[in-house]
Amino acid sequence: MPAHEIEIILSRQLADCLTVPVFIVNPEGTLLFYNEPAEGILGKKFQDTGPMPVDDWGTSFFPHDEDGKDLNPLELPLVQTIRNKVPAHKTFWIKSLNGKSTKISVTSIPIIGRSKVFSGAMAIFWDNEVKL
C-alpha cells in the first residue's frame, strides 16, 4: 500500500502530541487514524482496529441532540467537511456503549496540502465537561 500524503502523515504526528481527541479521515470518510485520547471516546485502540470504514466508526457512538433525537449523519461536522471541503463545527451529544451521554464540541478542517489535493479531514473533539 503506498504511503499517505505528507499532510496526512504530519497530521498524525501532530495528533500524536495532543491531549484532545483527534480523528483523521480520508476523502471517503475512512478513519485513517485516531489518537490516544480519541481511543477513550471510541472505546477501541488504533493499534487493534487500524483504519476503520465510515460505517464502522460512524455507528460506534450515537450522535443525538439535547432532546435525545438522533442526528442525521449529514449534520456531523466531519461528514460536512468531507462533502464540502470546508471547516465545520457543532456541539452535540454522543452516547457511549454503556449508555452514558456526553456533550461534545467538534471542529473539523479539510486537509489540503500544497498540491491543492483534498487529502481528507481532521476533527478535534472537546468533552465540554472535562477541564484540561
Partner 1 sequence: MKVKLHGTRGAYPTSSPTNQTYGGNTSCIEVIHGDERIIIDAGTGILGVDFDRYYKASRINILLTHLHMDHIQGLAFCKPLFNPKKEVHIWGPSGSSESLQSRLNRFLSPPLFPIPLRDIPATLIIKELPNTNFKIGKFEISSEYISHPGPTVGFRIKCGSKSITYMPDHEPVIGKSHLFPDDDWVSGFNLAYQSDLLIHDSQYSKKEYQTKVGWGHSSLEIAAEFCSRAKAKHLILFHHDPTNTDDERTEMFKTFMSTVNYDFPIELAVQGQEIEV
Q: Which residues make up the interface to partner 1 (CB under 8 A)?
A: 1-7, 9-10, 12-13, 17, 33, 113-117
Give least dist CB 35 to partner 1, A: 13
* Long-range contacts formed by 65-71: CB under 8 A, 24+ apart: 65/92, 65/93, 66/93, 68/93, 68/101
Pick the closer one to partner 1 by CB: 69 or 116: 116
Pick the closer one to partner 1 by CB: 13 or 128: 13
Which three three-digit cell numbers place residue 47? Answer: 493499534
What is the CB-side half-sphere exposure of residue 91 using CA atoms within 13 A?
6
Pick the closer one to partner 1 by CB: 58 or 113: 113
Give least dist CB 56 to partner 1, A: 18
Instruction: Evaluate whether 50 touches 58 at the Cβ level (below 8 Å).
Output: no
